[in-house]
A and B are shown apart, each in its own frame.
Chain A
Amino acid sequence: DIQLTQSPSSMSASLGDRVSLTCQSSQGIGNYLSWYQHKPGKPPKPMIYYATNLADGVPSRFSGSRSGSDYSLTISSLESEDTAIYYCLQYDEYPYTFGAGTKLELK
């Protein structure tokens, strides 16, 4: 199975900060990686698909990028509503696999 390693596991940042979360794949998955935002009591919300594409309704402060087997989700200016757990998912190969998540909190 393809392993996705997310880093950091948790972090805190201040309002307005630029934040980057990373997801590293154990093998090549091309751009078949998506990101999800999960808040308590709600279903996960898709944020990014195909590594760099913004999902419907996602604010433009979010972006996705790729460098080799490293994928990043960046928030250009952190807002309070962005606090959540963020997961990456690879859908290049079965079985699809998720990363362990990054918990993002406000400092």
Chain B
Amino acid sequence: EVQLVESGGGLVQPGASLKLSCVASGFTFSDYWMSWVRQTPGKTMEWIGDIKYDGSYTNYAPSLKNRFTISRDNAKSTLYLQMSNVRSEDTATYYCTRARIRGTTGWFAYWGQGTLVTVSS
């Protein structure tokens, strides 16, 4: 069974940094593109970015590219999202997702339960 478990969320002050993790199990992590998606309290869904199965390539939403970095450790089956200089508008639930087909990017067939990030002083 595919499982994605996010962690690292919590209350963080504006301007701080935060690193989210997503531990994957039930599949060969190093075979799949992975993405981060977030949902704001206002229910807006936003794609943050994705990373190729071998970690060699990343894509980002232009509005987040300068502050967010996606990485992965295939030996640990773990996906990361490094957030820097966070703002109140980054308050959201962050989801780790997996593409359906090995070796390709695309729609999000599997989702983690999400981790809540609240940016507030």
Which residues on A are within 8 Å of B, measured CB to CB?
A: 1, 32, 34, 36, 38, 42-46, 49-50, 55-56, 85, 87, 89, 91, 94-98, 100-101
SS class of chain A's interface: helix, strand, loop or mixed?
Answer: loop
A101 contacts B45, C-beta separation under 8 Å: yes
Rounded to whole angstroms, the CA-CA distance of A86 and B60 in the bound complex is 24
Q: In the complex, which residues of chain A have a beta carbon less than 8 angstroms from the beta carbon of B108?
A: 34, 36, 44, 46, 89
A-B residue pair count with CB separations less than 8 angstroms:
58
Which of under 10, 10 to 19, 20 to 34, or 35 or more describes the interface residues of B? 20 to 34
Residues from chain B with Cβ under 8 Å of A85 in the complex: 43
- Say yes or no: A46 contacts B109, CB within 8 Å: yes
Known contacts A43-B95, A43-B111, A85-B43: does B60 contact A91 (CB below 8 Å)? no
Known: A43-B112, A43-B113, A46-B108. 12 other contacts (CB 8 A): A44-B111, A46-B111, A49-B107, A85-B43, A87-B45, A89-B47, A91-B105, A94-B59, A95-B62, A96-B47, A96-B50, A98-B45
- CB nearest to A88 among chain B residues: B45
User: Which B residues lie within 8 Å of A97 (CB)?
Assistant: 47
B contact residues around A38 at 8 Å (CB): 39, 45
